[in-house]
Structure 1
Amino acid sequence: MADKQTTPIPPPAPIRLVAVIVSFNRCEHLKQGIAAVLDEPVAGLVVVDNGSTDGSREWLASLDDPRLDVVTPERNLGGAGGFELGFQVALDTFQADWLVCFDDDARPVPGAFRAFMERDLDGIDGAAAAVYYPDGSICEMNRPSWNPFWHGRLLWRTMSGMLIGRSREGFHLADHHYAEENMLEIDSSSFVGCFVRAKAVQRIGLPRGELFIYGDDIIYTLTLRKAGGRHVFLPHVRFVHDCSADLRGSARITPLWKAFYAYRNGLVMYRIASGAWFPLVVPVKVLGWLLAARHYPQKRQYLRLCREALRDGLRRHPGASHDDLTRRYP
């Protein structure tokens, strides 16, 4: 009896991964980032230049690579607006399966994208890379996290940590998670080394450009999770973030208009994160704003900004234009 003929199963189609970089006046960093991306197996690279004046646009215009699409909006859209535009262009131009986004001072380490593509991504909607400073230490500002309001034990640990000034440790990944090999379920991550499945973007929408800066990445990844998507941490997929940000920061946010986005967007984030707890969270956050007034010399102007941030955060209203904010709160 003749052997039964079987049809060979074809190998899976390669992932069409498209990178999105938002840039503003960091030409030397941008050069490193673009070189690192184009050395990886990407189907496309979208660069949104937010009105750079340091030669970035001229240098970008000199590049010739069919995978590169440079977008130059007429005005500065902020990080959030840049990613909103970049995601849309990536989907329209390159028919992406997955998007990966990051700032112009970040870049994948060699082999990062290939390592991502070799993972079993079935059932996964988003993924966060392990982000390090150039010296090899973990980049604190890009440490993924869980939402403590969705995990009772974490909420208690976070509240306990607030008493000793270590609340971040209650819900952010620990150092040992970076040394492990397996993927880990998370709730939120930054937009540095953030991978999102194209179908998930089509389901939940684009990043919210009206947020301009601050919290847009956490809001987006929390929205993904709240919609039932799976978001994971991939410790073997590594990025470098050559930034100078310090989480300790200053007691005063300068220029003042940035405080509006930090406060207003914070309320947007907490509405998603805290759910039924939101009415209890709002007075705590506002109290923090009021206590911070002592650090601002123009207290009347600062308090007016707080009122606007509270109003727009509660109304879910985009508020004043960016140009208006920078004029009134320099």
Structure 2
Amino acid sequence: MTRLAAVIVTYNRLEALKQTLNRVLEEVVDRVYVIDNASTDGTAEWLAARRDPRLQVLRLAENGGGAGGFAAGLAAAMNEDDPVEWCVLFDDDAWPEPGCLARFREEAAGLDADDTRPSALGAVAAAVFYPNGTICEMNRPNLNPFWHAGVLARTLIGGRDRFKVTDTDLAPRAPARSLDVASFVGFFVSRGALRGLGLRPEAGLFLYGDDVLYSLRLRRAGLRIELWPGLRFAHDCSTMGEGFVYRPLWKIYYHCRNGVQIAREAAGPIVFPAALAYYTLVWWRRGRSCPAESRGEYYRMMWAGLRDGLRGQRGRNDGLHGAALAPVRSGR
């Protein structure tokens, strides 16, 4: 039977973590790594009282965001003397639906998780839904339009939705299909990608885009990513406002800063300037969804993110947040 580890990142969301971890420990899973991003809400004490032998807790000295947490968790999983064949990543406000992990273990049993040859399967994405059963848009997988001429043409004519998988693709009985990008909610990654190729999420991204860049780099390494829609995750996320504007607004900084690198890697050096101009226009238009009193702050964060992205800056930017915008949260 394929061995599977869950990697969960948390920061100051103890009540959400309790629900998620209890659900996961009811599943058929070999190890569960919880990465505590230096929480201050009693998370460390609650985790210390858990007695399940599958549970391993890694408490970081400071909050490294989702990117830093996943990088640390995967490093810990692969540094074991006998690492599992697959790891599945998700936030503390997400969880697999009952039977999801057992189903993956069964369907992955015939796969060689150490295979790093071109076109080998390196990652599998689950279909992600809100708890009410509607599709979670922020976790909808997609193709990279810059790698597919037909998809690029449809995107230029019909907009960004044209490079994302459809509702039909996410139906429970839909067949598996190839992807270029999937989110770190229900993201199953092989030991071959993690250990054989040494691919890791970029910890310095802090928040947002770590999953996109990791997916693109995995694909550039020649491995496949597939959507298995029979695998279902729930994501009780509440960090988005109307018009795809993050709450709190300082998160826009990381979305745009890391988005510069996404545009560079997705489009390639020649098309990068045009791709970044398009992304910038999209971000600017989203700012119009902000209430008038916070619109200036949105654009300040957006332009600062673009500037620092072009400079290649990484890590947390606590000076930009300001005291009123703290504390930093690791969730997406």
Amino acid at match of 2:83: Q
Q: What is the aligned partner in structure 2 of residue 178 from structure 1?
A: 170
State the match for 1:71 in structure 2: 58
Preserved contact between residue 131 and residue 138 of structure 1 (Cα < 8 Å)? yes
Aligned to 1:325: 320
CA-based RMSD: 2.6
The aligned runs of 1:28-39 (5 Å cut-off) are 28-39=15-26
What does residue 91 of structure 2 align with? Answer: 103
> Tell me, what secondary structure is at the counterpart of 1:81?
helix
Q: How many residues matched?
A: 310
From 94, 111, 136, the equivalent of 1:121 is: 111
CA-to-aligned-CA distance 1:55-101 (integer Å, 9 cap, x gap): 32221110012211111112111111111111111112361211100
Residue equivalent to 1:4:
none
Which residue among 258, 276, 281 is the counterpart of 2:275?
281
> Which one is further off, 231-240 or 305-314?
305-314
Matched, 1:312 2:308: yes
Return 5+ residue gaps in structure 2 as ranges. 113-119, 326-332
1:153 to 150, 153, 159: 150
* 2:14 pairs with one of 5, 22, 27: 27
CA distance in 1, matches of 2:188, 2:203: 18
1:321 CA displacement: 4.1
The whole-number CA distance in structure 2 between the counterparts of 1:297 and 1:39 is 46
Report the Cα offset of residue 298 of structure 1: 8.4
Instruction: Find the residue that maps to 1:118 and give its secondary structure.
Output: helix
Indicate how the Cα distance of structure 1 residues 289 and 239 shifts in structure 2: closer, same or farther if over 3 A, else same.
closer
Corresponding position of 1:244:
238
TM-score w.r.t. the length of structure 2 is 0.84
Rate the CA distance shift 1:291–1:38 in 2: closer, same or farther, 3 A: closer
Partner of 1:192: 185
Does the residue aligned with 2:217 lie in a helix, a strand or coil?
A: helix
- Name which structure has the greater RCO, CA cutoff 8 Å, separation 6+: 2
Tell whether 2:229 aligns with 1:235.
yes
Alpha-carbon distance, 1:288 to partner: 5.0
Pair 26,230 (structure 1): closer, same or farther in 2 beyond 3 Å: same
CA drift at 1:106: 0.8
Structure-2 residue corresponding to 1:8: none
How far the C-alpha of 1:313 sits from its partner, in A, is: 2.1
Letter in 1 for 2:156: M
Letter in 1 for 2:78: L
- 2:244–2:286: 8 Å Cα contact kept in structure 1? no
User: Which has the larger Rg?
Assistant: 1
Alpha carbons of structure 1 residues 239 and 329: separation in structure 2 relative to 1, 3 Å: same
Contact preservation (8 Å) 1:204, 1:224: no
Identity in percent: 44
Distance 1:212 1:118 in 2: 34
Shift, 1:16, TM fit: 2.0
Residues 125 and 250 from structure 1, CA distance in 2 versus in 1: closer, same or farther, beyond 3 angstroms?
Answer: closer
Partner of 1:10: none
C-alpha distance in 2, partners of 1:185/1:307? 34
Question: Which has the higher mean CA deviation after the structures are superposed, 31-40 or 82-91?
Answer: 31-40
Aligned residue number for residue 134 of structure 1: 131
Deviation at 1:108, TM superposition (A): 0.9
Q: CA separation in 1, counterparts of 2:6 and 2:192?
A: 16
1: CA distance, partners of 2:143 / 2:220: 12
Matched with 1:5 is: none
Query: Aligned equivalents of 1:212 and 1:286: distance in 2?
Result: 20
Pairing 1:257–2:250 present: yes
In 2, the alpha carbon distance for the partners of 1:299 and 1:178 equals: 35
Give, in angstroms, the shift of residue 152 of structure 1: 1.1
TM-score normalized by the length of structure 1? 0.84
Query: Cα–Cα, structure 1 residues 92 and 266, in superposed 2: closer, same or farther, change >3 Å?
Result: same
| Cα distance change, pair 258–117 in 1 and its aligned pair in 2 (3 A) | same
